Amino acid sequence: MEMLTIGAFAKASRLSPKALRLYDELELLRPARVDPHTGYRYYAAGQLERARLVAWLRRLGMPLASIREVCALDPAAAAREVRSYWARIEAETAVRRDLAAFLVDHLTAESRKDTTMLELRYCAHSDTGRVRPANQDTAYAGTRLLAVADGFGAAGAPASNAAVAALKPLESAELTAGGVLNVLEDAVHEAARAVRDVADGSEEIGTTLTALLWTGSRLALVHIGDSRAYLLRDGALFRITHDHTVVQSMVDEGRLTLEEAVTHPQRALLLRALSGGAPALPDLKLHDARPGDRYLLCSDGLSGVVPEERIELLLAAAPAPDEAVRTLVDEANAAGGPDNVSCVVADVVDPAT
């Protein structure tokens, strides 16, 4: 067996001798032989591949404990582990990016003059659908607040109701540009508490919540669960929420394709929601609004049965929010209406024009 000194092995593996000694102590990469008299470490040429893997994983920023686990796996399983590690990092980064955007907005709010005060034209409707015995969704639209909540469990309707009701004081709250984040966060805590009261300790009872709060020039988005928010801008539809479902997280980690996700038997299983179980808080995000923008909030009773291309088409074709809501709800029911379906559509308009 060809043996390399620690210096030669370090050079070949691009790990420093100091790192190699550390990895020996951590049992991440043991030398093939240690001279009993001198204590010198020797490595086998066959250990180079593992050493290079360790070096790359270190460059990726993976913690040593995780590297040890990855190194113990066969290449296919190791690849899956690296992919899922990276998906977690990206998810964490996305949350931090949104917080950074909030902070930038907060810090520049004083100097920014909102010369135009835009307004919302809106419509909300919730329909039981064709199959369910009751409607557990709640949809709401007012001059400043738009919200959709999709309740689940034995007290799903009271849960979705409680979540939206907790946000309604925002309609008349004092809103300064820089204070939106705090006001919204307080309301969200209130919503979580209200749902916990309804659920009475059961994680089987709860609700999704997707809401937009209007400040006159921007929209603050609150989102938890698998209801969705879309923006139709310049004729193109953009989804601005990320589903908190088990299936979506599997897509993010590359374990499932988008096509497989659509038909997955557990596609509705939520990863995060407001419920009586462990507390989970929604995503918060701020969006700049432009005249001509059209926003859609909907429960999965729409997005689960009507393809996005079709939503885009119907949303773009409707002359006003009430017609958009009506055609979208009709379309879901025409597709079988298997679930409660809720839609809120709001247009951003400049009242001066």
Taking the least distance from each CB to Mg ion, the nearer of 303 and 327 is 303
Minimum distance between the CB of residue 155 and Mg ion, rounded to whole angstroms? 15
Candidate residues 81, 300, 331, 347; the one interacting with Mg ion per rule CB under 5 A: 300
Taking the least distance from each CB to Mg ion, the nearer of 275 and 299 is 299
Cβ density class 139-153: b for 16+ within 10 Å, e for less: bbbbebbbbbbbbbb
Site string for Mg ion, 18-57 (x = CB under 5 A): ----------------------------------------
Taking the least distance from each CB to Mg ion, the nearer of 105 and 339 is 339
Taking the least distance from each CB to Mg ion, the nearer of 218 and 267 is 267
Minimum distance between the CB of residue 126 and Mg ion, rounded to whole angstroms? 11
Taking the least distance from each CB to Mg ion, the nearer of 4 and 157 is 157
Size of the site for Mg ion (CB under 5 A): 5
**What is the Cα 335 distance to its own chain's centre?**
27
Amino acid at 46: G
Helices 6-13 and 17-25 pack at an angle, to 10 degrees, of 100
Minimum distance between the CB of residue 273 and Mg ion, rounded to whole angstroms? 11
Helices 75-108 and 64-71 pack at an angle, to 10 degrees, of 150
Give yes or no for residue 339 binding Mg ion (CB under 5 A).
yes
Q: Copy the structure tokens of residue 82.
A: 């690296």
Instruction: Specify the stretch interacting with Mg ion by CB under 5 A; choose among 171-179, 188-196, 239-247, 337-345.
Output: 337-345
Instruction: Specify the stretch interacting with Mg ion by CB under 5 A; choose among 4-12, 70-78, 270-278, 339-347.
Output: 339-347
Minimum distance between the CB of residue 152 and Mg ion, rounded to whole angstroms? 8
Distance, CA of 72 to CA of 9 (rounded, Å): 21
Q: Copy the structure tokens of residue 166.
A: 């907790």
Closest listed residue to residue 221, CA positions, set 255, 190, 187: 187
DSSP label at residue 307: -
Question: Binders of Mg ion among 137-166, rule CB under 5 A?
Answer: 150
Question: Contact at 8 Å (CB) between 101 and 286?
Answer: yes
Cβ density class 299-324: b for 16+ within 10 Å, e for less: bbbbbbbbeeeebbebbeebeebeeb
Pairing of the two strands 274-275 and 206-207? antiparallel
Taking the least distance from each CB to Mg ion, the nearer of 66 and 128 is 128
Minimum distance between the CB of residue 297 and Mg ion, rounded to whole angstroms? 13
DSSP label at residue 182: H
Minimum distance between the CB of residue 311 and Mg ion, rounded to whole angstroms? 16
Minimum distance between the CB of residue 299 and Mg ion, rounded to whole angstroms? 5
Give yes or no for residue 347 binding Mg ion (CB under 5 A).
no
Question: Contact at 8 Å (CB) between 337 and 130?
Answer: yes
Taking the least distance from each CB to Mg ion, the nearer of 282 and 304 is 304
Minimum distance between the CB of residue 135 and Mg ion, rounded to whole angstroms? 10
Taking the least distance from each CB to Mg ion, the nearer of 150 and 347 is 150
Helices (H), the chain: 6-13, 17-25, 48-60, 64-71, 75-108, 156-167, 180-199, 246-252, 258-263, 300-303, 308-317, 321-334
Q: Copy the structure tokens of residue 317.
A: 């074709």
Minimum distance between the CB of residue 218 and Mg ion, rounded to whole angstroms? 28
Taking the least distance from each CB to Mg ion, the nearer of 167 and 298 is 298
Give yes or no for residue 252 binding Mg ion (CB under 5 A).
no
Query: Which residues of this chain interact with Mg ion, rule CB under 5 A?
Result: 150, 299-301, 339
